Every structure is written in C-alpha cells, then in structure tokens.
Amino acid sequence: MSRRSGWRVELPVAGRPVLVVGGGPEALGRVASLRAEDAAVTVVASELSAALADLAARDLITAHPRDVLDGDVERAWLVIAATGDEAADARVRALADTHRRFCLGGSGRGAAPVPGTGGRRRLGGRVILVGGGPGDPGLITMAGLAALHEADVVVTDRLAPLAVLEGLRPTTEIIDVSKIPGGRTTPQQEINRLLVEHALAGRTVVRLKGGDNFVFGRGGEEWQACARAGVEVQLVPGVTSAVAVPALAGIPVTHRTANQGFTVISAHVAPDDPRSTLDYAALARTGTSLVVLMGVGTLAAVARALLAAGMPADTPAAIIADGGLPSQRTVRAGLAEIAERAEEAGIGAPAVTVIGSVAAFDPAVGSTPGGIDE
C-alpha cells in the first residue's frame, strides 16, 4: 500500500498507466490522488472540467475528449469509472471486466476518515472559506478537513488540494470554478453568486482555495458578497503559498544572517501597466526578500523594473512551479536572467518567485550570499 501525506491509494500505482473515465467534478479527487502517487494518468471524457483541462494542457495528465475505447482499457493497468452517471459507470466496469482489468468505481468519496468530526453535521445555510494550503493534501488543516466533511456543496478550483475531494460524502456537490490563465475562467461575480445561492437554499457551502483565502485569494470579496446577502460566513485560514512553496523548495523566506523580513506582492498586473499601484523603486530598496505571486507572465517586466530601480543584476532569484505537487520544479538564476531561464524551462502558472539573498540558500553553507552581519 502506498502512502503520501496521510492519503492512500489501495493499489501500488506509481509508474503504472491508470485510466480515468469521466472528466467532471466526480473525477477531480481521484485524478489528484493518483497524480500524488505518481501514476501515469489518462482521462477519457467527452468534456473535461476546467481543472482537468488545465492539467492536460500542462502535460501533467493525458486527456482524450471522446468516449472510452477498448484500446484505452487494454493499455491500462487500472481503470477508474468516475463519470458521475451510475449507468455509464456500470458500462465502464463491464468493459474493464471484459479486458480483465481492475476497476474502481466513482470518486472514492467517503474513503478517507476526517479527524475531529465524529460524524456530526450542522444544518443550515452558511459559507465556510477554507484555505487548503499549497497543493499537497497533507498541508490542509484539520479544521479545513472537518469543514469539507460537513459540506453539502464544495466550490473549488485548480489550485486547491483536489485529492481531499475523495474524502467527501457521496452526496456532496462539487463545483469547479477554476480560472485558467489564457483559458477557461469563471468570473468572480459568478463564484459569489454560487456561494450565496446555495447558502440561501439552506446548504453548507465550502469555498476551497489553494493557499490562504485572504492572501490574493479573493476571500475578502467573497465574504463581502455573502454579508450583503445576509449569509453567515466562517473562516478556516490556510497555509499560504507565499511562505510554504519556497519552503518546499528549500528556501526560507527569512534567514537571520540574510534579511530582516519579506514582502509579498501580486504581479498579476505588470509594472508598466497603468493599473499597477506598486512602487518598484521602493520595493528594490526595502532590503527584504520579495515573494512574487501570480507573476509568471509578467516576470520579465518585474525584473526589468527592479533592475531599473537599482537592484543588482546578480541578486539571487528562484521560481518554483507546482509547489507541493509531484510536478514541482525550481529554476534559480540571477535577477537579470531569471525570466529567460524560467521560459527556457517551460515554467508555467501556478508558480511563486523569490527574489533576494535567501533564494541562494544552501543548508550546507554557514552563511547566505549577500547576508547581514550576525
């Protein structure tokens, strides 16, 4: 039996071809758990949810937008029937039996115990804003898991730790509201509407985000929308990606002999965009580490702005993609070269960039380049 971060897959799937039939919300948890166990996942479905389409676009899974074929099953070591339709799942199981392949049904919901809930559920409409941490399902809090166990509806997206969806009750509705850079997106107004509508219908709604809802996660906007509608809101903070993703890559955002703080910014709006409100000249002089979120597409512009403000060209920088996931990658370079090196490596969103002496941290070395005196 294979284990990762407290979650388990009942068969040793690492390196083996696994076929998932179904591309809707029912398949999200299964696919995420299989990826966490290093399975070679192929999804076959007439339509993919936004989160699964994003994984396919980044070559993290293989996807075929069509009906399942005999050859798909023949090439698989394990088959998952997760269409969300009982009759369709039964046909997949029958096809797997014909080809003598293992077949697991559905989303796997209810398989993962959730500590601290005792099976108790509270009735009544409300919204719980849950920060899920950075990708790895083991980094969500116990309070976050308990909230998911109570949920009637889970509104989630591609940056959430999707493997935790396997632990939900079979009756829980999952809504994928992913925002894909350059692709499909769900407007924030529509997300707000879904939260309010389901809560006013008497349901317990969990808004599951990656990282923390209040660190560039639109949590404040969603809370305001609920408050205007008279909907009760509860908060479950999450481990923010701004700190956790660098840590997972071996980079402390602070180090006693290197800096005295860190500054987190969003680079969703480029420095040369008139909408930008950031003073990059001031940022270049802070002496703190800079942690840049939502800045893959604007990284070159961010680097140019900092260099123009006087930050040295050899300032250490690192960009970490897919933090907390099996596909996590890190690229390091000086500030003047980091954008070019990231592009050469094919780094895409989501990614976190660290700029400052800590980006060169090496635990085997007694001090950090560009550090301060003890």
pLDDT, tens digit, for every residue of 248-282? 999 999 998 888 899 999 999 999 999 999 999 99
89 is catalytic: no
Is a pLDDT exceeding 80 seen at residue 373?
no
209 is catalytic: no
Element (H, E) at 148: helix 142-150
Q: Which of 12, 58, 63, 59 is nearest to 39 (CA)?
A: 12
Is a pLDDT exceeding 50 seen at residue 159?
yes
Q: How confident is the model at residue 182 (pLDDT cuts 50, 70, 90)?
A: confident
List 21's β-bridge partners, or say none: 44, 81
232-to-82, 126, 238, 372 alpha-carbon distances in Å: 33, 5, 19, 48
The residue count for the chain: 374
pLDDT digits (tens, 9 = 90+) for 278-321: 999 999 999 899 999 999 999 999 999 999 999 999 999 999 99
Signed CA dihedral, 164, 170, 175, 178: sign only:
positive
Question: Catalytic: which of 38, 85, 179, 314?
Answer: 179
Mean pLDDT in the chain?
90
Q: Diameter of the chain by CA atoms? A: 70
Is a pLDDT exceeding 90 seen at residue 123?
no
Question: Catalytic: which of 54, 72, 136, 157?
Answer: 157
Q: How confident is the model at residue 124 (pLDDT cuts 50, 70, 90)?
A: low
* pLDDT computed for residue 118 by the predictor: 44
Average pLDDT of 65-74? Answer: 95
Q: How confident is the model at residue 120 (pLDDT cuts 50, 70, 90)?
A: very low
What span, in angstroms and rounded, lies between the C-alpha atoms of 7 and 220? 31
Q: What percent of the chain has pLDDT over 90?
A: 79
Are 174 and 37 in contact, with CB atoms under 8 Å apart? no
What span, in angstroms and rounded, lies between the C-alpha atoms of 142 and 270? 37
pLDDT digits (tens, 9 = 90+) for 14-32: 999 999 999 998 899 999 9
